[in-house]
Structure 1
Amino acid sequence: MTADTKIPPPGVALARGPPATCEYEASCAHAIETSLGIQGLGVHREHDRIVREIARTVDGTDPFAAVVRASQMAMVITDPLQDDNPIVFANDAFCTLTGYGRDEILGRNCRFLQEADTDPVEIGRLREAIEGRVPVEAQLLNRRKDGSLFWNRIYLSPVFEGDALTYFVASQVDVTSEKARLTRLETDREALEREVERRTRDLSRSEERLRFVLQAGRLGSWSLDLADMRFVASETFKLALGRDPGDPLSRAEYETLIHPDDRARRDVAVAECIAGHGDYDVEYRIVKPTGEVRWLKIRGQPFYGADGAPSRLAGIALDVTERKHAEAHRALLANELNHRVKNTLATVQSIVAQTLRANMSPQETRDVIQGRIHSLAAATDVLTRESWDGATLAAVAATALAPFRTEGDRRITIRGPEVMLTPRLALAFSMAFHELATNAVKYGALTSEVGRILLDWDIIDGLRPETLRLTWRESEGPPVCPPTRRGFGSRMIERALADELQGRAEIDYRPDGVVFIAEARMPDIRRPDQSRSPA
C-alpha cells in the first residue's frame, strides 16, 4: 500500500480487486497482502485456499508465507467482507495458544475468547480501529478452551488490495507472565512508595525534633564540603556569630570572625580530624561584627567517600561564653580563697602567739584567744555574704560589736555614712573593734551600768585626697589611767591597722574615757551614697 492509497470511509462497500503483484514491504501485514493474492470465498474454503497458497509459496521464493505458517507467534486472518468479520485463517501457534482446534475457530469472531472481566475500554479501542481500518495494539483478558485465563496482547493490522480493504491480520502473544510480573512490580512500587512516604514522614518528624532540640539547646549546626570548601551554617549558628540568619555565610567570611590568636589552634584541630586522629573538638573565640568577643565550642566528625578519604566535616556549635566566664570567676575565687585561707591562718597564728606572750592565766588566755578568733570569724562571715567583694563599715561594726550590744543602742551607738571597705580593711577594722570592746568590758565604759560608747565616722571633704575619719569614744565609765605597757591588742590596733589604712590609728587614754581615732584615704574606700546608716 502506497501513500496514494485511498481508503473508503466506514459504511461504504468494500470491493476486492485483482491479486496484486508481490511487492515486499517492511511490515508483515503488507507482505502477507502482497504475497497471498487471495479473493473472498467461504470461510473454510478461504482457509484452505490460504493454506494452499502458503504451501505453494513456501516452496517458492516468498519467505513471509513460511513465517505465517511456521511462526511461534499466534496469528489469525479475518474477513471484514463477511458478516461479523469471521476468522478465515489461524496458524498452529494460535491453536496451541487457545487450546481450540481449527474447526472450532474458523468462522467465529475473535470475541469468542473474551471473558466477562475483559476490559471494555480495550475492546472499544479494537472496535474503533476495525471501523477506522487502522492498526492498533490492545491487551485483553481471554479464556482458553480449558477455562484458564491468559492475557493476550494483540497487534491488529488491516490488509488492502489497491484501495480496497480485504483482510485483518492479528498477531497475538501470551503476556500473562509479563502481566503478572508487571502487577507484582506495580504492587512492589506502591509498597515502595508507601514505605518512602512513611520514611519521608518519619525523617521530617526527626528533622523537626532535631531542629527543636538544637534550638532549645541553642546548638548551631554546620557542615564543610572538603572538595569545594563549601560552608553551610544553620540559623542558630549564624545568630551566635552575630550574623543575620537569612544571609548566606561563606567559609572565607567565617574565617574572618575567628579570633586571630585562636586560628592556629583551630587549624591544628581540623588537620588532626581530617588525618583520622579522632573527632573535631575545639573551643575558640570569635569576634562579632559589633566587636563583641564570644567563646564557641565546636564539635564535629568526618564523613568519608567511596575511596575512603574524608569528603565532609559536619557537627554542632555552642556558645560557651557564660561557661568560660564562670570558669574564670571560679578560678579567681579559688585563688582568692587560697589567699584568704593563708592570711586567716597566719592571722590566727599571730593572735595565738601574741596572746600566749602576755602574762595571763590559762583561763584568761583561752578566753582572749576565743574572743579574738570569734571576731575574726564574724568579719569573715560578713565578707562571705558579700562574695568577698568587700563589706560596708556599718555591717563590719555591727557584726563585731554584736556580742557587746546586749542592750542595743543604749550602751553602744554606731553611726556614719555608707562606705564600702576592701576585704583587708574589713578584717582589720573588725579585729580593732573587738579589741576596743573587750578592753571597754574589762577596764572601760562597759564596766559600769551607765557607761556608753559612740562609734562614729564621716568623710572629711576638705582634705585631699578625701579621708575617712573614724572615732571610738567612751564616756561615763570609771576614770582611765594610761597602761604601763602595751599588749598585743593595743599594738594590733595602732600598728597593724595603721598599716592597712595607710593612714593613722591612735588610742588616747583620756581620764574621762578612751578615745580611738583612725583615718584612711578614700581611694581605698568606696562610698555608694552620702546617706548616714545607723547600725
Structure 2
Amino acid sequence: MSEALWYSNHMAEAPPGGIDRARLALIAVERSHMAMVISDPNQPDNPIILANPAFLALTGYTAEDIIGRNCRFMQGPDTSPESIAIIRDALAREIDVTEEMFNYRKDGSAFWNRLHISPIHDDSGKLIYFFASQCDVTSRRRAADLERSEQLLLKEIDHRAKNALALVQGIVRLSRSDDARHYATAVQGRVHALANAHTLLAVGNWQRVPLEVLLRSELVASGAGRVEISGPEVAVDVPQVQPVALVLHEIVSNAVKHGSLSSPTGLLDIRWHADHDGVAIDFAETGGPPTLPPATTGFGLSIAETIVSKQLNGRLQLDWNASGLHSRLTIPNMAMA
C-alpha cells in the first residue's frame, strides 16, 4: 500500500458487498499526476491527513515530514500576505478558492504554486475535509513576466527613439546656413553630439550620467583644448542627457569657432554649482579675439537658447563683455549626486 493510502486508510471502510467509492477515490488521488492533499479541519490547526505521491514529488517532502502538519510550512519570505489572507478567508467561509502564490520546497527552492482548495461536506452539510490541489506554474509565470518586460522595453525603446528623432528634426529645422557645406557640417556636429550622449546612456545602462562625463565627452569630440572644469558631482537625469549634450555642444563649438578657443592664447573656464532647485553652469571665455556681437556669431547659440527654454525649462544667459563671452546655463530639477 502506498504512503498516501497508508496515511489515509482510516477515512473509509469498504461496505460489505458494496462498491468502496471512497477507496476508489483515494486510488484516483494517489495515481493522479496532479499534486493533492486532504486536510482535516475538525482537528486542531487543520492538519494534512493525506498527501499523494505527486505532491511529495513536487515539494520534496516525505509523508512523515508533513502528515499532521498545517500546509503553511510551504510559505516563505516572498509568499504574499495578500494571498495568505485570501486563502484564510475562503477557509473560514468554507468556499472554493484558487490562488497563485510563491511557495517553497523542502530544499528551500521556490516555485509559483497554483493552489485550489475546495471544502468537502457530509450529507448533513457538516464540513469534514478540505481538498487541495497544487500545480507548479513557475514556467508560465516567468514567460508572462518576460513578455511584460519585453513589452515595457519595446515601449521604452519606442519612446527613446521618438525623443531622439524629435531632437534630430529640431536640429535640421533650426540649423541654417547660406553655404551647403557649412550647413552639413553644423548638422553633422549636432547629430554627433546627440549620438555621443546616446552612447553614454547605453553604456551606463540608461542610468543618470555624471555632468562631468557628459562635458568631457563633448570637449573631446569638439577638439577643445585649454579648458578648465570644476564642480561638485552632479548627475543628469536620463530625459535631460541628450538636450543638455546639445546645449554643451553649441556653447563649446561657439568658443572653438568664434570665441576664446579660436585663439592660441584663449582659455575656457567651466564651473558649476547648486542653484535654487537645480544647477548653474558658468562658461567664462578669456584671452580670445575681441568679443563679437551676437548677430555676427554662429547661429548655434540661438539653437541652444531654444533647447534650454523649450526642452529643459531652464535659462541660458549670455554676457558679451570685453574680456570674452560669459555664459550661464541654469537647469532646474538637476540634483547633486
Tell me which interval the TM-score lies in, with the shorter structure as reference length. 0.5 to 0.7
Equivalent residue letter for 2:329: A
Q: Unpaired runs of 5+ in structure 2?
A: 1-32, 41-47, 88-95, 105-109, 116-130
In structure 1, C-alpha distance between the alignment counterparts of 2:81 and 2:162, rounded to whole Å: 43
Q: Is the contact made by 1:455 and 1:472 (CA closer than 8 Å) also made in structure 2? A: yes
Aligned to 2:165: 345
State the match for 1:43 in structure 2.
none
Q: Which amino acid in structure 1 is aligned with residue 313 of structure 2?
A: Q
Aligned residue in 2 for 1:446:
261
Task: Answer whether contact 1:297 1:317 (CA < 8 A) is retained.
Answer: yes
1:421 and 2:251 aligned: no
Whole-Å separation in 2 of the counterparts to 1:519 and 1:527: 14
Give the direction of change, closer, same or farther, for the CA distance of 1:283–1:484 in structure 2 (3 Å limit).
farther
The 2-side partners of 1:415 and 1:236 are apart by 61
Q: 1:248, 1:369 → 2: CA distance?
A: 73
Structure 2: how far apart are the matches of 1:452 and 1:313? 77
Instruction: Tell me how large the CA RMSD over aligned residues is.
Output: 4.4
Q: TM-score, normalised by structure 2?
A: 0.62
Residues 35 and 134 in structure 2, CA contact (< 8 A), matched pair in contact too:
yes
Pairing of 1:177-326 with structure 2 (within 5 A): 223-224=35-36, 230=50, 233-234=55-56, 237=59, 248-250=69-71, 259=83, 284-286=100-102, 296=112, 316=136, 318=138
How far off its partner does 1:506 sit?
1.8
Query: What is the distance in 1 between the residues matched to 2:137 and 2:85?
Result: 19
Query: Of residues 369, 377, 380 in structure 1, which corresponds to 2:198?
Result: 380
Structure 1 residues without counterparts, runs of 5 or longer: 1-220, 264-270, 272-281, 289-293, 300-310, 529-535
Paired position in structure 2 for 1:137: none
Matched residue, 2:300? 489
Q: Output one character per residue of 1:99-127: Cα deviation in whole Å (capped at 9) or x when no partner.
A: xxxxxxxxxxxxxxxxxxxxxxxxxxxxx
Determine if contact 2:319/2:325 at 8 Å carries over to the other structure.
yes
Does 2:334 align with 1:516?
A: no
Deviation string for 1:220-254 (max 9, x for gaps)? x9711699995564597499xxxx98983449x98
The C-alpha deviation readout for 1:404-425, integer Å capped at 9, x for no partner, is 3464xxx112221111111222
The offset of 1:364, in angstroms, is 0.6
The correspondence for 1:471, drawn from 282, 290, 307, is: 282
For residues 114-173 of structure 1, what are the alpha-carbon distances to aligned partners after superposition, in whole Å with 9 as ceiling and x for unaligned?
xxxxxxxxxxxxxxxxxxxxxxxxxxxxxxxxxxxxxxxxxxxxxxxxxxxxxxxxxxxx
Counterpart mapping for 1:55-94 below 5 A: none
On the 8 A contact 1:478/1:512 being kept in 2, the answer is no
Asked which structure has the greater RCO (Cα within 8 Å, sep 6+), the reply is 2
Could you tell me whether the CA contact under 8 Å between 1:257 and 1:287 is conserved in 2? no
Query: How far 1:499 sits from its partner (Å)?
Result: 3.7
Once the two structures are superposed, the pairs formed by residues 381-420 of structure 1 within 5 Å of their partners are: 381-405=199-223, 407=225, 411-420=226-235
Work out whether residues 112 and 136 of structure 2, in 8 Å CA contact, stay in contact via their aligned partners in 1. no
Q: Does 1:527 align with 2:324?
A: no
Matched, 1:432 2:250: no
Report if aligned partners of 1:391, 1:421 keep a CA contact under 8 Å in 2. Answer: yes
1:365 aligns with 2:183: yes
1:494-509 equivalence runs, <5 A:
494-509=305-320
Q: Cα offset for 1:489?
A: 2.3
TM-score (norm 1): 0.41
Instruction: Figure out how many residues of one structure are paired with residues of the other and give that number.
Output: 261
Which residue in the other structure is 2:120 paired with?
A: none
Shift of 1:320: 8.0
Aligned in 2, Cα 1:486/1:335: closer, same or farther, shift over 3 Å? Answer: farther
